[in-house]
Structure 1
Amino acid sequence: MAAAVEATDGVGGWTKEDSAHAPSRETQNTSRYGSILMGFFSLYCPMLFILPFSIPLYRRATEVIFVTWEMYAVALMEVFYGVKFFLSGDIIRPRERSLMLLNHRNRLDWNYFWGALAHATSPPAHNLKIVLKSGIRKFPGLGWIMQMSCFLYIHRRWEEDQRLMNNVLGYFRDIDHIFQVLIFPEGTNLTPETKKKSEEFATKAGLPPLDHLLHPRTTGFTFLVEKMRNSGLLDAVYDVTVAYPKTLPLSELDLIKGKMPEEVHFHIKRHPASNLPGTEEGLRTWINGLWSEKDKLLKTTLQQGHFPEPGAEIPNPRLHGSYLAVLFWTPLTLGMTYLLATWWVVQWWCLTFSIIFTVISFATDGIQHFEVWLHRRELTRLAKSE
């Protein structure tokens, strides 16, 4: 991944040109969220009828659907918003079971990380599971889809979170699943308030100050490394650093307004699992050292507008194979929207599944744990029949 990149300084604002295009960008964001809802009703909901009869088919189908939507999201960012992704460092190997560490600059980092996955993964395929706050599972459409895709939701209550992650990771071990887990070790995105709390923690813990990062929370990281490693589910840890040298969006509201970064830069460093410390204390020291190095890297990057190692700008996005997803998702979204507006059968279908998933999301930890329960019940049945 080596090519020259035009340097820029500082963090830019929203230009007049951006403002002029804001209405169309808002429309495009509405369209993208519409694709999430229409995809959920038209593609994901029918998969629920497969779940009781073929868990492997259900697991594979839901993951393929999600990856194609990721491709669509990346295509929209690059083709319609003109977002440019710059990559440097190592290639991501999709046939590895890996843990990915990403700094949390804003609430939308996971959204842009799909761009890195689309272009830094060779061959271009992956099966990413993101560790998310539990409340996101209740979000209509996207939260429901992530439940069905077996994402890892946490409550920030460690005993309960440990149980929930053990449940899903144990299931992946049982079915010999190849997957990647993305975590934000900082726990939350960087704001003046969270920065102050991080500095107070660092002072008490005797850690060096960080300028562009929050200090990582080590409990979840060490648990995931040890759990995945002991279960034979960890081939590598990827340290991913994201930087926004120009416009910096901060929240979902910026996304709705069409305030998108002109450039998103990613630097990727692969660490083989065999190189990681073997103890919990060693892992804590390792990630704290990693974050100190990452902070220095970001300081240089934001000064010169790109990572010290030149990043490769992604080629003309219109030529990238993932944009075939546009030809699938756009007519699907428009067609399903038309049916929803005109046909009572589709209206009742959407209403019924909206009610079902609202109840599931508020009354349980998510439908993914029902999938795990079905799998374990089948194992018990097979054991008794032998």
Structure 2
Amino acid sequence: MIFVWLVGAIALLVLVGWLGLEWQYRRRAGNRLAFAAGQWNIEAYAADHYQIVGVPELINRTPASEIMVPELTAETTLLGKETVDNLDVKVTITPQHPDAEARADGYWFAYIVKLQKRTQFKVQIDITGPEVRSLKALWVRVHYLTYGPGGRFPKTGHVIVPLQFPDPAMAPPWRDTPQAQVMPVPTHLLTHLDTPTEVVKRYASPHAQPGDIITLGETPVAIMQGRWRHPSTVQPGWLARRLCYYFLPTSSLATACGLQTLVDLVGPWRVFWAFIGGTAKKVLLRQGGGFYQLAGDQARLIDDVTGTLPPYDQFIVLGPESPQLIVDEIEKATGLGAAIVDVNDLKAVKIVAASPRVNRAVVTQALIDNPAGNADEQTPLVLVRPK
């Protein structure tokens, strides 16, 4: 009997020890080395040569571990109206570590990012060729290897840099609607380098007058906030892999990665109970849309891959953060009523947020035919002039 009790006690201790180790392991963050795009500038803008320089950062957000970066490289994709085959691209990476000088030969030596610290590196991209002025944007992928307690993991940071800029003084034509005139306003390809207020000031304000309303697409606003994720960085869990099959094929939640982004935003339990509640409403009351009501606004605003213009068609774009603060800031800075909207070609207009001066009924009617377009028009702003 004593032997049995002894074996049981040892087994219990082993189980408790194993559970303790597992609990501690699950609390560990792994290799949480984050990429921040930083500031990018066009240093040279000649007829046959562009030079783009950026200074991204690597930030160690791992609570109690140092993370090593043994490898770091960058590759580029050029987007333009013409062929890019005649263009030559050279990429130079120079470490700017706070405690170690860069090598003259350009070699990236393994570097340790210490606890809660960060490091920078300079990326210089020279584009040379006769068709350089046809380029619309530059997509930079920074590939870096993290090495630490979590193992050896490759990661990629993404940066989009606009290279073509419409003349803000050029006034697009107005279009008539029953209650207002509308002007779709072209801009450059919006990126993390932009802010909604400055974009409105630059492109819409020259054509506006008192009483006008400026509307911004919710997806471009989210892009300016950096709220986009490449599917390779999304790890679909048990819930997302199973529930995604129950959404319509046209839904941005109909893929495991698309739905997982919502899980990451609002939590698995809210998604699960929204699914249960939405199913019950549909079965018992014959009413759809219950899931989106229960899961929150972000469920409707996520755009999956192919949901927007290149190169963001390769990413999952989330809904904007704090949209009310953004429209209030635009109204204060420009004097224009402002609204962030979600509009499609099916005559569906959702006003995500609107400043106090906005007549929501007028905006809804003015945008019913989606003057901004759903293709690559690149007119994320629409100026509305009530009649």
User: TM class, shorter-chain normalised?
Assistant: under 0.3
What TM-score results when the alignment is normalised by the length of structure 1?
A: 0.24
Higher relative contact order (CA 8 A, sep 6+): 1
Q: TM-score, normalised by structure 2?
A: 0.24
